[in-house]
Chain A
């Protein structure tokens, strides 16, 4: 038995519910008639649309260019006609501009796309440029532009690159299936990252509830030089970037710092696969795997979706129950509940959950200072204190209780016997503190 790694502080062990979808092979989602490629699917500046209504576009063609360095390009996932740029609902509330494209069903690739090349012939800078042009963002959910992550300042020496295949969110199995069905794409993606960063060590990290994926990756990784596969305890938030680094090499990302401050870069396994597609096939990020699960769907699935495809037809395809009480975008710990299914999927759509059982509205009660949240916080915060400060409107003081260090994993709120929405309160406090800092 290999050594099982874990992080040192706090955490919880919710039911992982992976059994619902982990045996479902990746299948194609129903072909969309129309797609909405949103200009804000990532952290950073929104992209700028460069197409006009009635313009013909091919699959993989650029439809919106990055709006800055920390931004991402958007491409058409289908061949067809641009109808117009319009507002569509955004998964975090409000609306976002999206390029609406009518699918002609021909799946014609743009020039130069889907052409096999040997990525090893490219230099690190050329590879980075390809990743940037492919509009790749972190596909684990954070959606941070990948080329930025792969461009650390020259004074930050990166010696370790980690592929995050932990997938610690309950229900989600898309990364699990990807590792099982496409291990070589993932590992090649890791090699590309390793080359770009000039790192000596490269890891693929997998949680112990995916032993089949671990065994397979270990077997495949043996064929490459310098790749290691690590096994991790099933413990939430094992897949949180800073916790993952600590569990592998014991390095603690300094408060307020980034993984690169301790010589590490972490990428999601799906991101690595997309990196491989971009560098070896010149395919931009226009498709991804998404888990559809929960007790509210008849057929759980891991579907290959087109970025910009509407959610509703996929849920209909999976047989979403009339009784569904909650629709969650992403995992149950950090995902976003939706009022309906009328919104387009994006590069960060790792899963959609239709939940019935156990869904209820929680009425927060007084904090009884039981300190469950303090004991389980993986960062070492006092969430109960932060929650009380937020409630009292003393947002400025939240900074002294290290609100900005919160990784928003939701552990405090999960564990709270008084059902206090602490992570939400801390998010509000963080926004306030950041806004105040900007003013200065």
Chain B
């Protein structure tokens, strides 16, 4: 097998056995990136020298007797994550020359584990989008069909994993931005429970909804990466001070005796027939493995999209207020006074979707709107969380589609915000509820991947990993790879 086609755990075994060095592995990945980057445009910044330095350091640590599941493993990081000394743009012109003076906590944890940083991947600007088309640096293309989107916002990371241009990656999920591109790119992606993983150093999209999550080739890799980044961080006041279980121990391969709920409302209006068929077939597979399927209801699902949009826009309007051309980032050079420094910097530095959401968010929070829109959306959010709590009191986990459709064509929805928002109809409610969910491949429509979502209780990533892993091992969808034309 080609080195770039390895999973994290396969590579780790070879590194451990001494049949491979991190330097060789990293060189192979850098060559692979070079081959696929022109067609896919997954990366915004490839840190080749840094990667080779990281690889040599990992090989030295291994020679000194150290080991670990991520030691010497080359990974890609979403450009919403601050990396010290490495450009971090958040997919925006506003941060085009921003070089953070510090690492996000998750980056520090990966470095301590000896991972190798290959580069920063493309994202919708400030995480706002469902296709990565809102990046100020060009769209990323889906390796399964280069005329189609990889999903978003973490489309760069998902495409990099699918194209074997990294062994694994981190993305961030606000309304589905890890799970949805994972589904569209035929890979695995997990959104942890809100508070499970530190947000320190994650450029905020919506602070009560955001979580950093792994995007990887299989569920075993997902467990390994989650293990490394999960846990309390005193620098993130919203991070949970709770112990982190051994996620690998959850990968038993068995779902016998488990109760899996199918929430009828997550089989949304507009669900593509092949997606529904594949997800229901996956449910039957799990049933044949000994799980009991239960019909459940999440009655307020249809209200999740508007609730999400008002809440996330309100939070974005506050979170993006810091970008004012004063302390960092782009600054309008011709501004005659302070107010126009702010306005011109932000007006020119931000793209349409970000500006629309700031306008919508500001409006939603204004006197006269606050109660009827913002508080209303937050009350609906409570009902959505109560729906999940009720359903998950009857089941161990829930099974649903990840996206209503397979990957759509680049440009197809970019002129219509409402059409674009539909892509997250199956994922948004989980962020509002703050619970955990994973997407894994479960089929194809033509040559386009279909994702299965497994949703779970707060801090119960072990259960969703267990279900996802058992399904994965009973099928071969996780072994499918796109056939891409690559530069020779």
Q: Do A and B come together as binding partners?
A: no
Q: CB within 8 Å of A: which residues of B?
A: none
